[in-house]
Amino acid sequence: MGAAEHQFDHNSSHPGPWAERAPRTVTTLMVGKLICAGAGEQLCRVRNISATGMMLESPFPLRESDSIVVELRGGPVLEGKIMWVSAGRAGVQFSAPIDVEEVLATAKGSSPAARLRRAVPRAPRFQLATTARIVCNGISHAVVMENISQSGARIRLPNQPDLDRVMTLVIPGLSPRSCTVRWIENDVAGVAFIEMLPYAELAAWLNEMQAPR
């Protein structure tokens, strides 16, 4: 049976604590941060979701029965257990039922709190310290990148150079990213990428950087 066919069918060989399948499964495409034992922090996509489970995909090889946590854009955190894996996809049963509409609204920035703040939900950030370079005003400076997302990064600037309006962040293993400064505090700065880092590129890089050595 293919991944798309059995989705969250907990009534087959993996009966869960809920006797009936969730009445409404929402097809979606949300990017999240996957946390799993032995995996570090990986990128994933949630393909569909219901009150009791979700189907996700990730280039990281997942295993049945593993407990996982997925953090979505805007902050919703989903916890559960992998019930099946197939061709880069996995079916997850939540530890407790969720409010699907609330989760989707928060991740898409349409919840009342998000509308009040007029804020765009922040993409999941991955804590992964590595050396990088920032090129500004024609000069290259060594920096430490403390975290990264598809939309930006946090960098530490040991020499506190004067930053240009548009710079280039050069991270080994990724294509150079044109970026702008969002904030600076002491020797730390937040930069936003002018063009979002492609999902496949970031996912492969995270998988390589956190692979067992």
Write the pLDDT tens digit of every residue in 129-141: 899 999 988 889 9
Residue 55's domain spans which residues? 3-117
What's phi and psi for 56, nearest 5 deg?
-130, 165
Identify the domain boundary among 117, 145, 177. Answer: 117
* Residues 84 and 139 grouped into a single domain: no
- pLDDT of 188 > 80? The answer is yes
pLDDT at 142: 93
* Residues 107 and 201 grouped into a single domain: no
Contact 17, 60 (CB under 8 A): no
Which CATH number goes with the domain that contains 190? 2.40.10.220
Percent of all residues in the chain with a pLDDT value above 70, rounded to a whole number:
80
The whole-number average pLDDT for the span 66-78 is 92
Q: Which long-range contacts (CB under 8 A, 24 or more apart) does 24-29 make?
A: 24/50, 24/51, 24/100, 25/49, 25/50, 26/50, 26/100, 26/104, 28/104
* Residues 22 and 76 grouped into a single domain: yes
Identify the domain boundary among 117, 146, 166. Answer: 117
* Residues 136 and 109 grouped into a single domain: no
* Residues 95 and 197 grouped into a single domain: no
pLDDT at 19: 41
The more confident residue out of 149 and 123 is 149
* Residues 78 and 136 grouped into a single domain: no
* Residues 61 and 143 grouped into a single domain: no
The count of structural domains within the chain is 2
* Residues 49 and 73 grouped into a single domain: yes
Contact 9, 94 (CB under 8 A): no
pLDDT at 26: 87
* Residues 47 and 68 grouped into a single domain: yes
Average pLDDT, the chain: 83
Identify the domain boundary among 117, 143, 173. Answer: 117
* Positive/negative CA dihedral, 200, 206, 209, 210: negative
* Residues 9 and 111 grouped into a single domain: yes
The whole-number average pLDDT for the span 192-213 is 88
pLDDT at 98: 93
pLDDT band at 212 (very low <50, low <70, confident <90, very high): low
* Residues 81 and 139 grouped into a single domain: no
